[in-house]
Amino acid sequence: MSATFVGMPAFPSAARAALADTQLRHNLAHATGTIRDKRARVVAEVEEWEDLRLAGAAVKQSALVDLDRHLVRLEETLTANGATVHWARDAAEANAIVARIARDHDADEVVKVKSMATQEIGLNEALAEEGILAWETDLAELIVQLGDDLPSHILVPAIHRNRAEIREIFLREMAGVGRPAPADLTDEPAVLAGAAREHLREKFLRAKVAVSGANFAVAETGTLVVVESEGNGRMCLTLPEVLVSVVGIEKVVPTWEGLDPLLRLLPRSSTGERMNPYTSTWSGVTPGDGPQEVHVVLLDNGRTRALADDVGRQALRCIRCSACLNVCPVYERVGGHAYGSVYPGPIGAILNPLMKGTGDPQTDSLPYASSLCGACFEVCPVRIDIPEVLVHLRAEVVDGHRGDRVPKAEAAAMAGAAWTLSDARRLAWVEKASGLAGRALTRFGRTRLPGGRAAAGRIPGPGAAAWTGARDLPAPPRESFRAWWRRTDGGRTDHTDTETGEGS
Amino acid sequence: MRVALMVTCFNDAMFPETGKAVVTLLRRLGVEVDFPAAQTCCAQPMVNTGYLDEAVPVVRTFVEAFAGYDAIVTPSGSCAGSARHQHGIVARRAGDPALTEAVAATSPKVYELSEFLVDVLGVTDVGAYFPHTVTYHPTCHSLRMIGVGDRPRRLLEAVRGLTLVELPGAAECCGFGGTFAVKNADTSVAMGADKARHVRETGAEVLVAGDNSCLMHVGGMLSRQQAGIRTVHLAEILAATEASVPEVVA
């Protein structure tokens, strides 16, 4: 099981391949539609939802403003509670810390609570290289892991799979890594969940070491918080002797009180539930109860880079609810894999460039993987203005190429457009030329829009083909608005208007 | 009140009928509208593609052309949003205090057409007549960037002869998105195909919106599918009367 996003193509190519998969599009449209409606219903129940969003954004923002201070406080309180705190600058450091802890306990396997941070650093693959098997215990993560697949959604990693596919994966793969699936397995959700439960129980009871992430880390009390739905998280957090929690440094919340809006915003935004089934908190070691050794790995891995970006910083407010994925029309069509990262969708399109830095073709394609429709900002529980950050990052991508010896065709086109559009006389001249082209099309073209306006059908050439592959293009009118205004003094001298037949 | 028409470069070059409709409509409502000839574009194509330096001279041209007007009216939710929310970013980037000041004076005076009619003129019945079945697509920037709310619907509901039918999934993006339509053409087309299907499902004769860019995208797709559904800008429906139903729909 070594699936990885490394070497993924840029978004437009990956999207094209995904769009060709009709089963995937069907699965995604169904799943995102269902969860979107559910979220909308439970959010509508909360009268002060906007106030709650503001409060949630304020808690996370205040944590980011003084992040260094809150992190030091967190280290102090966790240490006082008996936990060992480690600092990791990047994925390699974090993975090495976890592997060392497992080896210190002679563990050749660990059980895992679903965690985006460990996905991000490729912990499972890194542990496998050390001969340590990491078992995912979240149902969807188990499906992805058994299928040697990649997660395609933050909350529902196997959203791209349907029930029949999951049955196939369980029947084929479970026996090789533990308790086999029952031979009479059906594709009923409860039956599939039952098989996963039996398969996982063995692993929970055997494992000495568990690995988790955290949804929140409270600095004043040294408390980590995990929010989940299946109870597998609670088993991992309480049964094994040793617990290692890998926590992104942006998860810090200064006070316990600050959790209040966040724990109300998260379940409604993510699963469309009023409250999530399990909320677990742990603060170091309690003698004789639960893990007797607790390690917390505080992970940077590009977060301080994002923090240094004035506009992009707000992305670190993200509480990984995935509401933006579920409303995004782009995500709904192409799915998560096209984004080439464990963080897909609108938030992934900004988090990846912010954390990794721009300059790589795959990363640079992500800020453009959006129509800027704004649906993501509308649902974001902590008010991350994703469209604003997308545009900001597009500028960073463009600026990164300003020194190119040979400018891209797009850059030349934009420079030309800016030259034309900064002077009305130049624009009028271009419109006159396009009007001539329009006349030719009107005379010789065969395509007509309803209402009679001439149009261009399929045209070869890079930009034109991209548009006209599936869309007719109206012919330019013979006379622009400004030419009409000047000719008729704004319609005052030409009430009959002879230029008919070329409206929209 | 000195009112300027911001016709938008796109309407100017591709959909002049929309600008003419705004002039007809506002005159009928007793508003004399100027067309500052120095105007060009709101700079959104550059800004949204990441070419902020290139946007600077375009924004400069914009604020110079529209300086001194009490209201700047445009038949585009998208360009109104650009002028209101992005010009400040461009000016700050240019590090030019005079430009920043000029933007601060101009941007708040930009109104999308339905906002100007309902909020400034205080009318919802503009005396229009349009005897067709129409479905309305609330373009994303109208809906979310500037928040026109139900103003276009209220205007349409007051049009005599018009039957307004509900568009399924109306609030979902049509997939145009400026250069997105070309840079991510496959995804754009997939989104547009679903929008076009919803439009066909309504049985409407006409698809109306407050942005010709989105209409060109969805209309281009409907045309390729030979769906026989026309796309008409909101301004043209509101300008239509019993004496002058727009030629394209009559």
Kindly indicate the confidence band of residue B247, based on its pLDDT and cuts at 50, 70 and 90. low
d(CA A361, CA A370): 16
Q: Along the 504 residues of chain A, how does pLDDT read in single tens digits?
A: 446 788 889 999 999 999 999 988 998 999 999 999 999 999 999 999 999 999 999 999 999 999 999 999 999 999 999 999 999 999 999 999 999 999 999 999 999 999 999 999 999 999 999 999 999 999 999 999 999 999 999 998 998 888 999 999 999 999 999 999 999 999 999 999 999 999 999 999 999 999 999 999 999 999 999 999 999 999 999 999 999 999 999 999 999 999 999 999 999 999 999 999 999 999 999 999 999 999 999 999 999 999 999 999 999 999 999 999 999 999 999 999 999 999 999 999 999 999 999 999 999 999 999 999 999 999 999 999 999 999 999 999 999 999 999 989 999 999 999 999 999 999 999 999 999 989 988 888 888 999 889 999 888 877 788 999 999 999 999 999 999 999 999 999 875 554 444 444
Q: Between chains, do A504 and B190 touch, taking CB under 8 Å as contact?
A: no
Which of B17, B186, B224 is closest, CB to CB, to A503?
B17
Kindly indicate the confidence band of residue B116, based on its pLDDT and cuts at 50, 70 and 90. very high
Kindly indicate the confidence band of residue B200, based on its pLDDT and cuts at 50, 70 and 90. very high
Residue B178 has pLDDT above 60, yes or no: yes
Please give, rounded to a whole number of angstroms, the shortest distance from the CA of B155 to a CA of chain A.
20
- Residues within 8 A of B (CB atoms), A 214-243 only: none
Q: Between chains, do A334 and B58 touch, taking CB under 8 Å as contact?
A: no
User: What pLDDT score was predicted for residue A5?
Assistant: 85
Contact in structure between A371 and A380 (CB atoms under 8 Å): no
Q: Between chains, do A450 and B217 touch, taking CB under 8 Å as contact?
A: no
Q: Between chains, do B50 and A374 touch, taking CB under 8 Å as contact?
A: no
Residue of chain B whose Cα is closest to the Cα of A37: B169
| CA-wise closest residue to A330 among A320, A338, A341 | A338
Q: In chain B, which residues have their Cβ closer than 8 Å to the Cβ of A480? A: 12-13, 16
d(CA B135, CA B201): 10
User: What pLDDT score was predicted for residue A444?
Assistant: 85
How far from A113 is each of A95, A116, A128, CA to CA, in Å?
16, 10, 17
> What is the strand order of the sheet B71-74 is part of?
B33-34, B3-5, B71-74, B110-112
Q: In chain A, which residues have their Cβ closer than 8 Å to the Cβ of B246? A: 503
Mean pLDDT on B7-20: 97
Torsion of CA A324, A327, A332, A333, to 10 degrees: -110
User: What pLDDT score was predicted for residue A495?
Assistant: 57
Residue B208 has pLDDT above 50, yes or no: yes
Q: In chain A, which residues have their Cβ closer than 8 Å to the Cβ of B192? A: 470-471
Q: Is A16 on the interface with B (CB under 8 A)?
A: yes
Kindly indicate the confidence band of residue B125, based on its pLDDT and cuts at 50, 70 and 90. very high
Non-local CB neighbours of A239 within 8 Å, separated by 6+ positions: A204, A205, A207, A210
Which of A396, A480, A502 is closest, CB to CB, to B12?
A480
Kindly indicate the confidence band of residue B90, based on its pLDDT and cuts at 50, 70 and 90. very high
Kindly indicate the confidence band of residue B20, based on its pLDDT and cuts at 50, 70 and 90. very high
User: What pLDDT score was predicted for residue B115?
Assistant: 98
d(CA A450, CA A456): 13
Q: Is A197 on the interface with B (CB under 8 A)?
A: no
| CA-wise closest residue to A113 among A292, A236, A223 | A236
d(CA A434, CA A483): 13
CA B235 to chain centre: 9
User: What pLDDT score was predicted for residue A98?
Assistant: 98
Alpha-helical regions (H) of A156-258: 163-177, 189-206, 232-238
Q: Is A311 on the interface with B (CB under 8 A)?
A: no
Q: Which residues of A45-78 are buried (b: 16+ CB within 10 A; e: fewer)?
A: eeeebeebbebbbebbeebbeebeebbebbbebb
d(CA A84, CA A409): 54
d(CA A49, CA A53): 6
Two tokens at A176?
């090789």
Q: What is the pLDDT of residues B33-59, one digit of tens each?
A: 999 999 999 999 999 999 999 999 999
| CA-wise closest residue to B136 among B241, B233, B8, B246 | B233
Which of B14, B185, B217 is closest, CB to CB, to A466?
B185
Residue of chain B whose Cα is closest to the Cα of A426: B40
User: What pLDDT score was predicted for residue B250?
Assistant: 39
Q: In chain B, which residues have their Cβ closer than 8 Å to the Cβ of A15? A: 184, 186-187
Which of B37, B93, B230 is closest, CB to CB, to A482?
B37
What single-letter DSSP state applies at residue B219? H
